[in-house]
Chain A
Amino acid sequence: MLRLTNVEVMFNRVILVLRGVSLHVPPRTIVALLGANGAGKSTTLNSITGLIHTELGEVTEGTIEFEGRDLIRMSTDRIAQCGIAQVLEGRRLFEHLTVEENLRVGARAKRGKSSIKKDIDMIYGYFPKLRLMRNATAGYCSGGEQQMISTGRALISNPKIMLLDEPSMGLSPILVQEIFRIIKNIHEDKGTSILLVEQNATTALDIASYGYIMENGRIVLDGTQEQLKNNEDVKEFYMGLSEVGKKKSYREVKHYRRRKRWL
């Protein structure tokens, strides 16, 4: 469905940020893209939706295809109308608009003919809390509520695929669980594909069926949920476990092994 082949992204014509990223999101699946800060996860998402152009970046090599269409030369708003909804890192609400107005803006890229009112009701179905605060100014909502608005705003356009950029950022573990449960519900109800960018590998791999791990602008490892969860390196570096179930002690790790490089 969504396929990136050997994508290279350069900023300002000198800084090479992605060095040949290939990944594939099949229909009706959740795929996780994991990695540390600065690995290039967000850039990967922004290159799919064309947002890198607003940051003086461009795709210099490779192809990005969505249902057979080449996305590289399309503008961000056209890409959104194709059914790709991105939830930006850090939520990025329209702060002075009310909760419901945020949702109504999200419905601008809507596919299909259902009425806006029904769509908004559907969002309130997934996030009942939002119904109570529909007329509140979005900027004054709490972090968890803002993440719900942001996810709802993307979901309301009934996208074929959602690109979620760190939905767990800045949220308490309980809220993270709640958000992920809702994401999984949405996926199961509507069959929406999800490309999930996360630092929180454990939680992400709980709901994703396939995962990619990025480092320094490259995909260094990929595999199914099972494979990644049982991979010794992933366990050690992304989940903080040495043996299954045991807390990791850094005393046992030789300093030169602490930061593993695959390439």
Chain B
Amino acid sequence: METFFQTLASGIMMGSLYSLVGMGVVVIYKSTKVFNFAQGGLVMLGAYIAWSFIEEVGMPIWLALIAAAVAGILIGIIIERFGMRRLVGQPIISLIIITLALQAFINGVVTLFWGDRASNAFPQSFVPALPIEIFGVNLSLQQIVTFAVSMTMMTLFILFFKYIKWGLDLRAVAEDHQAAMCMGISTRMVFVLAWVLSCVLAFTGGVLVGTIHGVNTTLYEIGEKSFPVVLLGGLESIPGVLLAGIIIGILEYMCGQYLDPMVGASTTDIVPFVILLLVLIVKPYGLFGLKRIERI
């Protein structure tokens, strides 16, 4: 029973990270209807940039994190300006393919600049791997920090979309571009904002996952893990992606703990997708997806 709770807790901690990364996808999808396949790449890029600021530039940690956030903002603006804007008004699939290209591009850039320094780790003093015992479950301080940061970001975003006027702009543009323009909302600014927010989320995720797994070229895989999370949550819902991330996280750890020894192979990458398919059969909009409103 102790193992069960241990696995459960680890799953929740990891799942919160999936939610955080998935939320970046949701923010872009909500406002522009583009599914960003490059989210994993951005996570990796964020981890590398933060690592470089700390280890190679020698910045203090707090400054490095701020610098990484600024870099995230700049990269968001650059992607929107040079990757997306020219194609606005074209079929949405072209924009989605661009994000695939972006993923390949980021992979290339990371290999080019950091490729020879395999498997780096953030300095230990960053978030020490202190074991902490809560209700008889052993967790590391890293896991708890990850969980806390993810939850804080989620809460901030939910409040942002509900109460801040820019958040409202994003939702309005998501519903109807023309009507939003008639209300004096600049769709261009909204698209920039969406990409900036998404990049900042990805970079935050990158730093967090980097502290747990070390900074290496497989970090983009967390992006792939976040796709079933986003779909399960319903593509447009932040509470949905939060819940879905935790569900997938728990499933993954449970499979690793109980199913793998039975099967004798790793099932952690398969089971989340199987569950996703099953859920989509019953609820095609995902758990919290917006239902299409149609007047008859």
Which residues of A are interface residues toward B (Cβ below 8 A)? 49, 51, 54, 75-78, 80-81, 85-86, 88, 92-97, 101, 104-106, 108-109, 137, 139-140, 143, 153-154, 157
Contact = CB atoms under 8 A, between A and B. Distances in A.
Contacts of B97: none
B171 A94 contact: yes
A77 B171 contact: no
SS class of chain B's interface: helix, strand, loop or mixed?
helix
Nearest to B190: A77
Contacts of A77: 181, 184-187
B186 A75 contact: yes
B183 A80 contact: yes
A105 B180 CA distance: 8
B266 interface: no
Nearest to A154: B182
Contacts of A76: 178, 181-182
A104 B168 contact: yes
A157 B185 CA distance: 12
A73 to B, nearest CB: 15
Interface of B: 89, 165, 168-169, 171-172, 175-187, 290, 293, 295
B186 A101 contact: no
Given A54-B89, A108-B169, A94 B184 contact: no
Given A94-B172, A96-B290, A105 B178 contact: no
Given A51-B182, A80-B184, A92-B179, 20 more contacts: A54-B89, A54-B177, A76-B178, A76-B182, A78-B184, A80-B181, A80-B183, A86-B182, A88-B178, A88-B182, A94-B172, A104-B165, A105-B183, A106-B183, A108-B185, A109-B183, A139-B293, A143-B295, A153-B183, A154-B182
Contacts of B184: 77-78, 80-81, 108-109, 157
Contact of B169 (A95, A105, A137): A105
A85 B293 contact: no
Given A54-B89, A92-B176, A85 B171 contact: no
6 contacts: A51-B182, A54-B181, A80-B183, A97-B168, A105-B172, A105-B183
Contacts of A96: 171, 175, 290, 293
A104 B163 CA distance: 10
B117 to A, nearest CB: 46
A106 B165 CA distance: 11
B182 A49 contact: yes
The 4 A-B pairs of least Cβ separation, nearest first, read A109-B184, A139-B293, A80-B184, A76-B181
Nearest to A139: B293
B169, B175, B187: most-surrounded residue (chain A CB, <10 A): B175
Contacts of B176: 92-94
A105 B169 CA distance: 7
A157 B184 CA distance: 9
B288 to A, nearest CB: 12
A139 B176 CA distance: 13
Nearest to B177: A54
A109 B165 CA distance: 12
A75 B177 CA distance: 13
B33 to A, nearest CB: 14
Given A49-B182, A76-B181, A97 B165 contact: no
